[in-house]
Structure 1
Amino acid sequence: MDASGGSGQPRSGNDEPAEHSADPTAPATGPTDPPGPEPGPPRPADRAGNGTEGSPGRDGTDEPNSTDEPNSTDDRTSGSTIGTAAAPTPDAESAPGAPAPTEPHHRTPDHRAPDHPTPTRHAAAPEHRSLAHSGIAKGEPPEPRPKEPGGGILMGRPFGVPVYVAPSWFLVAALITWVFGGQLDRVLPELGAARYLVSLFFAVAFYASVLVHELAHTIAAIRFKLPVRRIQLQFFGGVSEIEKEAETPGREFVLAFVGPLLSLVLAGLFYLAMKPVEPGTVPGVLLAGLMVSNLIVAIFNLLPGLPLDGGRMLRAVVWKFSGKPMTGTVAAAWVGRALAVSVLIGLPLLNQSGALGGSGEDMGGMDTVTDALLAAILAAIIWTGAGNSLRMARLREHLPELRARTLTRRAVPVENDTPLSEALRRANAAGARALVVVDADGTPLSLVREAAIVGVPEHRRPWVAVSGLAQELTDGMRVSAELAGEELLDVLRATPATEYLVVEETGEIYGVLSAADVERAFVRAMARPA
């Protein structure tokens, strides 16, 4: 299924910059700054300053509401299952509830400007919040970044991709061991209690076949230069989390088809291995079970509905003829939902009629309940996976709206030995919400961390230099102001940090991008209608 994740918060409204005035006489605390006059647009930072008072750049203070969203990071997932494809949750974490500024055209103020900076014009903005007003200077703790969920027990890294076994796998392994053990008791009663060891071996061998199915997706993705986050074996099978979408419908079709194809190949190999083996023996029973189970996995995953592999193939076909990947996703997702309803109603009826190999007359009440429960679980997984595919497709439509330029906070340049209290005063006067430590030539050296500011009591701030609270800049912490969408998210994922320095193509400082703002922006993008 399609799953996109990422971070970044689109601005509400249009793409025109919404700006706020920064009153140089505003107090250090208070809810808002009064509006100022309306001069022309702000100019970029002059990096050759002397480290004195900073003039205002551009401020971002829109405060959109946040909406909780499950985990996904920009994940495009291809799954194989015991009868269905498990749909992973999106790779985005729930963002903190507090709002964040998301205004465009952030500039680092010229720190050679006079003590009373010229206010910039900000149109259609509900509230102006400086560094002090935002809670940083008041000692309020910054919102914690959500932790990435664990994938279970790491089993290895074939082709450099981590393979995890989720805790739910042990539950289904125990269930398979119990059910297959009962069948062995009828076929090979002489095994006694040892039948459960044979059944456990079957469960492990079957999931090894599922892993081969997922590795087929992974190898195809690597061949097409698509990053694979991980493979996870879970309750109803396995899932390959591919972080980007195929560029063409042809590649999408191949990427989906290779999984069922490998399952069919495995079923054929187990069938050939059965030929020289006596049917009534343990090897014969195991090979027959593995042949049938792989055949079921292949056929079920070829059903044309998301999140199954067949649904991805249908999506690719519709995409090819319509020219629009979103159209293919919508069509395959609704077919997937119809398939879920069919499984819910049809699977118990087929089993009762004996069409699936059982005897309808011999079925008891418990068997009927078990069939209905299994059908409900499978239907719920398919329905949920189809819905997730629609949400991820909608997110991809909104990802281009997530731009580094619109999410960047205005920053004030300060030198190493500047007291924290003075740096915060300059930031408040300029309406800025970030501090960049520069050298005597104005070259950025480090970023003052929000969490570090919180840890300094207010009465100690005149004696604490900003250099002691700053994080040294690395190459990965320099972000182009022109980045947007998945490209921006890829850069942030490559170098995890709490803040990033945003620069123009000319090398001029544009501002500071907070990871917390980006996370909240992603959640808002997920909440927007298609």
Structure 2
Amino acid sequence: MKQSLRLGHVAGIPVGAHWSTLMIVLLIGGVLATTVLPQAVRDQPPARYWMIAAAASIMFLGSLLGHELAHAIVARRRGVPVKSITLWLLGGVTEFAGETKTPKDEFQVSVAGPLVSLLLSGVFYLAVVFLNGPALIVAAVRWLALMNAVLAVFNMLPGAPLDGGRVLHAALWRMHGDRVRADRAAAKAGQVLGMALIGLGGMELILLAWTGGLWMMLIGWFLASAARSEGLVRAAHEGLKGRRVRDVMTTSPDVAPAWQDIDDFIAIVALRSRQTVFPVVDFGGHSAGVLSLDALTAIPPAQRHDRRVATVARPLPPGHLLSPDDDATRILEPSPVVGELMAVVAEAGHVVGMVTTADLTRTLQQAVLRTTSLHQDAERTDDTQQDHPGQPLHDPGA
């Protein structure tokens, strides 16, 4: 997830916030200032409610950060590099640069966050018990204790991408010794859990007219979508395993010379090509950006003769220029650059291909067909051996 605001580094880990974090701060602050705190302590000046609510909202974000830091620190100790931590509308995201090597490591990384949330809940609860301070502050601390407990329990629900889904994945991985099978099961559980939350939220909204049902439906939709996306990414990694970029790419694509007039490029290449996006090259054949049909159609016809391709081409972001011999799973790391283009492929500095979403989809579908065929062959072999025990499958003398 892209960080809109960088907050610095904690334990050497880059920490930032997505713009949607502001929404959750305003939402929590508003609920606290207008509902929770006034019900707990009556007849206080509105400004005081808002001041305490703002402080509690920020402390809750700190709790979310503590939850994610626990994941990150344990993961790093288990040999998994950590890219960043990002706070956003529905909590926090820790981005890893690798995967855990064993079910035990995955279990420990997964439970670290909820354990820290439970610990913080206990700390806030003890502060409520022993804190002899203003009633409004005590009410806010009590709310923080409750929310951290809810955060810990909710995150342990068994479905990806929640921590409980990771724990389920680790258990299934250890039980069956098959990580791919565990991937599918955890992703499926996450989708079922998400749909269940959507259903419960809808019933709450219809039967009880509680606006909290909308929030539950939003969380359910996110879980279902995230679980499905995670399942697809896992399947993609499995389908691309052992393959190279050259096995996936479109070779010798139509390119856009950076020095060419836009009018000439449209007449000579764009109108005759089946592509919707073109790698831009300089005189030496090196990558110089990307040009899409959308960008071309946005240029007024009167301006096309006086402009060159280079003036409308978009730069190629880092990570989108690959080598034919790179591991094909590198295609999955960045998001598409422009339209359907996922990467430009260059060999010895010269553009030799490109990878589009269609190339990736085709390769993954072929991987599914290949896997299905292998399973069918294995089943036929088993059936033959059961029908003719002790006999060879082929006549050695044939």
TM-score of Structure 1 vs Structure 2, range by shorter chain: 0.5 to 0.7
Q: CA deviation at 1:348?
A: 7.3
* Structure with more of its chain in helix, by fraction: 2
Other structure's SS at 2:168 match: helix
Q: CA deviation at 1:233?
A: 1.1
Other structure's SS at 1:162 match: strand
Which position in structure 1 is the counterpart of 2:234?
393
Matches of 1:222 and 1:371 in 2, distance apart? 37
Other structure's SS at 2:130 match: coil
Q: Which runs of 5+ in 1 are unaligned?
A: 1-87, 89-149, 353-364, 411-432, 438-445, 453-476, 492-496, 503-508
8 A Cα contact 1:277 1:283, kept in partner: no
Matches of 1:366 and 1:334 in 2, distance apart? 28
8 A Cα contact 1:231 1:239, kept in partner: yes
Alignment counterpart, residue 383 of structure 1, candidates 224, 238, 241: 224
The higher-RCO structure (CA 8 Å, 6+ apart) is 1
Alignment counterpart, residue 306 of structure 1, candidates 160, 181, 188: 160
Relative to structure 1, the CA distance from residue 388 to residue 499 in structure 2 (aligned partners, 3 Å threshold; closer, same or farther) is closer
Q: CA deviation at 1:317?
A: 0.7
1:315 aligns with 2:169: yes
Other structure's SS at 1:156 match: strand
Which position in structure 1 is the counterpart of 2:62?
208
1:8-46 Cα offsets, whole Å, 9 max, x none, are: xxxxxxxxxxxxxxxxxxxxxxxxxxxxxxxxxxxxxxx
Aligned residue runs from structure 1 range 72-471, under 5 A:
150-181=2-33, 182-193=35-46, 194-278=48-132, 281-346=135-200, 368-400=209-241, 402-406=243-247, 407=249, 448-449=286-287
Q: CA deviation at 1:151?
A: 2.0
1:377-410 Cα offsets, whole Å, 9 max, x none, are: 1211121122112111111112225414434957
Q: CA deviation at 1:159?
A: 3.5
8 A Cα contact 2:6 2:17, kept in partner: yes
Matches of 2:151 and 2:74 in 1, distance apart? 19
Letter of the 1:189 partner, please give it.
R
Relative to structure 1, the CA distance from residue 409 to residue 380 in structure 2 (aligned partners, 3 Å threshold; closer, same or farther) is closer
Letter of the 1:157 partner, please give it.
H
Matches of 1:327 and 1:451 in 2, distance apart? 40
Relative to structure 1, the CA distance from residue 253 to residue 183 in structure 2 (aligned partners, 3 Å threshold; closer, same or farther) is same
Matches of 2:8 and 2:207 in 1, distance apart? 40
Matches of 1:490 and 1:376 in 2, distance apart? 30
8 A Cα contact 1:153 1:164, kept in partner: yes
Other structure's SS at 2:347 match: strand
Which position in structure 2 is the counterpart of 1:485?
328
Matches of 2:199 and 2:250 in 1, distance apart? 52
Q: CA deviation at 1:319?
A: 1.0
Matches of 2:28 and 2:235 in 1, distance apart? 38
When Rg is computed on C-alpha atoms for both structures, the one with the higher figure is: 1
Matches of 2:281 and 2:230 in 1, distance apart? 40
Relative to structure 1, the CA distance from residue 436 to residue 176 in structure 2 (aligned partners, 3 Å threshold; closer, same or farther) is closer
1:213-267 Cα offsets, whole Å, 9 max, x none, are: 1111111222233233322211111111223222222211112111111111111
Q: TM-score w.r.t. structure 1 length?
A: 0.51
Q: Which runs of 4 or more aligned residues in structure 1 lie more than 6 Å from their structure 2 counterparts after TM superposition? A: 433-437, 487-491
Q: CA deviation at 1:312?
A: 0.7
Matches of 1:298 and 1:375 in 2, distance apart? 17
8 A Cα contact 1:161 1:231, kept in partner: yes
Q: Which runs of 5+ in 2 are unaligned?
A: 253-278, 291-320, 335-342, 369-398
8 A Cα contact 1:405 1:482, kept in partner: yes
CA RMSD of aligned residues (A): 4.2
Matches of 2:89 and 2:281 in 1, distance apart? 48
1:197-224 Cα offsets, whole Å, 9 max, x none, are: 2111111110110011111111122223
Relative to structure 1, the CA distance from residue 220 to residue 399 in structure 2 (aligned partners, 3 Å threshold; closer, same or farther) is farther
Which position in structure 1 is the counterpart of 2:299?
none
Matches of 1:523 and 1:151 in 2, distance apart? 28
Q: CA deviation at 1:311?
A: 0.6
Other structure's SS at 1:231 match: strand
1:517 aligns with 2:358: no
- Compare 172-181 and 156-165 and name the one that shifted more: 156-165
Identity of aligned residues (%): 26
Relative to structure 1, the CA distance from residue 478 to residue 234 in structure 2 (aligned partners, 3 Å threshold; closer, same or farther) is closer
Matches of 2:332 and 2:211 in 1, distance apart? 44
Other structure's SS at 2:209 match: helix
Q: CA deviation at 1:308?
A: 0.8
Matches of 1:294 and 1:325 in 2, distance apart? 31
Aligned residue pair count: 313
8 A Cα contact 1:267 1:290, kept in partner: yes
Relative to structure 1, the CA distance from residue 501 to residue 478 in structure 2 (aligned partners, 3 Å threshold; closer, same or farther) is farther
